[in-house]
Chain A
Amino acid sequence: MNVSQSRSWRTIILALLAVGLIALALGGYLAPAIRVVVTPLVSVQTWLSERYNTIVDFVTAPRDVAELTRRNEELEAEISRLQATVIELQQQNQQIDVLSALVDFARANPVYDYVAADVIGRDPSPFLQYVIINRGSDDGLRRGMPVVTAQGLVGRISALIAGAARVQLITDASSVVNVSLQSTKASAVLQGNLTGELTLTMIPQDVGVENGEVLLTSGLGGNFPPNILIGQVTGVRSRSFELFQTASVQPLVDFARLEIVLVVRNFRPVDIAPLIPEP
């Protein structure tokens, strides 16, 4: 009996103490005491947590780096592939532009039969302005056939083999083209130069030539078909004591960036040498 009574009293006292402590805590009277006890515990907890995280990072980090490196390599490879695709598409786009222009030119001049050819090289000699194209006698090409682009006259075939041909550009120093001025229909002679420039000579003194005058092939001499665009006059030199005027000409074709050309296959140059009287 005594034992059970003493247990009851102990329980009651503990309950009262608990209620009292709760009441004190709710009333905020225990806060300083709690702070004193909890602060070191929080510090210890923080330290433990940090150490744990450090250890976890140490154990797992190498795997992540390897994974990231692999992923990075994959992405870099993907970027390289996409960049290559972009460049390829840009090149195809440029080629389509050139081909579209050539098709437009062919449609605008349906009289002629064209063969498209890639420019694959240049003459090794710096004295000469010749290009090499990847079409030859197997494609029906013959010596002397004119070569054009959508912009205008390029030159003519000077030599060829089965699968390739050499084209003399109109800018070559030994090139001579008979031309006519578009507005006056006056005839003149266009000569190439070592510098790759074009000079118009044999312009009669009584013909008025203005800057911007358009030049076309005249067809005289039988080397080129008539009415193919060549370029524009950029400067005229006229001296009263000379028989003829001369002019500098800006070609419409960019000879430094020739990539694709058209060979006029159904034009055969006429050899007029037998018709020229011998002195």
Chain B
Amino acid sequence: MATLISIPILAFAIMLQSAVFSKITLLQASADLVLVTTISWMIQERVRVVWQWAIVAGVLVGFVSEISMWVTVLGYLAIAAITSALKRRVWRAPVLALFTAVFAGTLVLQVLTYLLLRVLGTALDLLQVFNLIVLPSLLLNLLISLPVQGVVREVALWFYPEEIET
């Protein structure tokens, strides 16, 4: 069920991303709602369904974006691995883990996209990419991560209710 619910949630996130968030830009960058939503889900303490969400997010983003689906799936799987590792190691500070995962996840996706476009022959200036896309993307993703995490946490509680000690 927690896997199935990823489809409507991430589909809604990508619709919002495409219709709204992509139009709100800082320099050339925009906040990545799908990435932050996926990480916010994966970082939840009781959540066990992680890889499935990564695959669903990668497939959906690859479907909507011109970026190859293999790259997006690979990117989100890498993000799932990073987030799982962070959750195990920084479990006492979930906010720190969230910020670190969003930071690392943004970098992973941007680097993979950059490498793909370079391989395909698109002329991209690395410094320009860093200044106009990577840095503003990091800032915007970190800005939206806390509110998104709050919403995702409520959803996660439906599937993984907190245990009441008696």
Contacts and interface: CB of A to CB of B under 8 A. Distances in A.
Interface of A: 120-128, 130, 132, 158-159, 166, 168, 173-174, 191, 194-196, 256
B22 A121 contact: yes
Contact of B67 (A121, A125, A194): A125
B28 A130 contact: no
B150 to A, nearest CB: 22
A244 to B, nearest CB: 15
Contacts of A195: 28, 128, 132
Contacts of A132: 18, 64
Nearest to A175: B122
Most buried by A among B17, B64, B67, B128: B64
Given A159-B66, A173-B123, A194-B128, A124 B28 contact: no
Contact of B117 (A122, A168, A173): A173
Which 3 pairs, one residue from A and one from B, show the smallest C-beta to C-beta distance?
Answer: A121-B18, A122-B22, A174-B122
Interface in B89-134: 110, 113-114, 117, 120-125, 128-129, 132-133
Given A123-B65, A127-B114, 18 more contacts: A121-B15, A121-B18, A124-B22, A124-B32, A124-B34, A124-B61, A124-B65, A125-B65, A125-B67, A127-B113, A130-B66, A159-B66, A166-B66, A194-B124, A194-B125, A194-B132, A194-B133, A196-B28
A158 B61 CA distance: 16
Given A194-B129, A194-B133, A124 B18 contact: yes
B54 interface: no
B19 A127 contact: no
A126 B25 CA distance: 9
Nearest to B109: A125
Nearest to A191: B123
Contacts of A128: 65-67
Nearest to A130: B66
B67 A126 contact: no
Interface of B: 14-15, 17-19, 22-23, 25, 28-30, 32, 34, 61, 64-67, 110, 113-114, 117, 120-125, 128-129, 132-133, 137
13 contacts: A121-B15, A121-B18, A121-B22, A122-B18, A124-B34, A124-B64, A128-B65, A132-B64, A174-B122, A194-B28, A194-B125, A194-B128, A195-B128
Contact of B66 (A121, A125, A126, A256): A125
Nearest to A127: B113
Contact of A120 (B19, B28, B61): B19
A123 B123 contact: no
A123 B22 contact: yes
B103 to A, nearest CB: 16
Most buried by A among B29, B66, B113, B129: B66
A126 B23 CA distance: 10
Given A121-B19, A121-B22, A126 B122 contact: no
B22 to A, nearest CB: 4
A167 B120 CA distance: 18
A130 B117 CA distance: 14
A194 B124 CA distance: 7
Contacts of B125: 194
Given A121-B18, A132-B64, A166-B66, A126 B121 contact: no
Contacts of B65: 123-125, 128, 130
A135 to B, nearest CB: 16
A237 to B, nearest CB: 17
Contacts of A126: 22, 25, 28-30, 133, 137
A204 B59 CA distance: 45
A64 to B, nearest CB: 46
A191 B125 CA distance: 14
Most buried by A among B23, B28, B113: B28
A168 B23 CA distance: 16
Contacts of B122: 173-174
